[in-house]
Amino acid sequence: MLNQLKKELDSLADQEKAQNYQRFFKMEKGEYGEGDIFIGVTVPVQRKMAKKYSNLSIPKIQELIKSKIHEHRLIALFILIDKYKKANEHEKENIFNLYLENTKHINNWDLVDSSAHYIIGDFLFEKDKKVLYELANSKNLWEKRIAIISTFHFIKKEEFEDALAISEILLEDKHDLIHKAVGWMLREIRNRDLETQEKFLKFHYKKMPRTMLRYAIEKFEEEKRKSYLTGKI
């Protein structure tokens, strides 16, 4: 079944799209996606492929997630999410562990953002969150992004403590992709509890990276947004 999936995906490859994706996902030397490979298949098509091959076994999914081809890894994650949603608690734990064992292959922002909160966040919701703090303190860009994006599940359940704590850990991170992710999660908190978000912002906004702050206050009215950006709150 795995070989059939790969052959079908190859038949849908589009070189022009692949080149565009490689530019968009920063694949050049020294960029965050260096060494990744796209074949040029759109995400909606990948989602359809994941549904078609949803019965792919866990060992085959693990093989697919280790592929050098970006679309293979994203489809593997889509299938894994589907399996997770249908799984019992023991099976969910196995999928959770499989995800953590393969973080080095979940190595671009779309891969993280499409999966972390559905698997890692969901599994840890009522459990010890220690692993998230270990990921947040990792030297690996993608593990840090997994840590903060996983808290999106908690935020949707209106539990903000871990999202704020991990945001605080990542305040001084140097990478733009972490700034954007933290800002996004702070904005999601604002969508549910403005008071909680503003309490955090008023304490930290002066030392927050500009991109992080801009993402966090994106939905504020213009005058208030300017006050944060000029440090006049």
pLDDT tens for residues 8-48? 999 999 999 999 998 888 888 888 989 899 999 999 999 99
Contact present, 225 and 233 (Cβ < 8 Å): no
Provide the residue type at 101 as one letter: E
What's the pTM value of the predicted model, to 2 decimals? 0.95
Token couple for 96: 């959770």
**What span, in angstroms and rounded, lies between the C-alpha atoms of 3 and 219?**
46
**Spatial CA neighbour of 180 closest among 206, 148, 220:** 148
Angle, helices 43-52/2-11, rounded to nearest 10 degrees: 150
Query: Tokens 């702070």, residue?
Result: 186
Token couple for 199: 């309490």
Query: Tokens 């953002």, residue?
Result: 113
Encode pLDDT of 153-196 as tens digits. Answer: 999 999 999 999 999 999 999 999 999 999 999 999 999 999 99
- 160-164: long-range pairs with CB below 8 Å, 24+: 160/189, 160/192, 160/193, 160/196, 162/129, 162/132, 163/189, 164/189, 164/196, 164/200
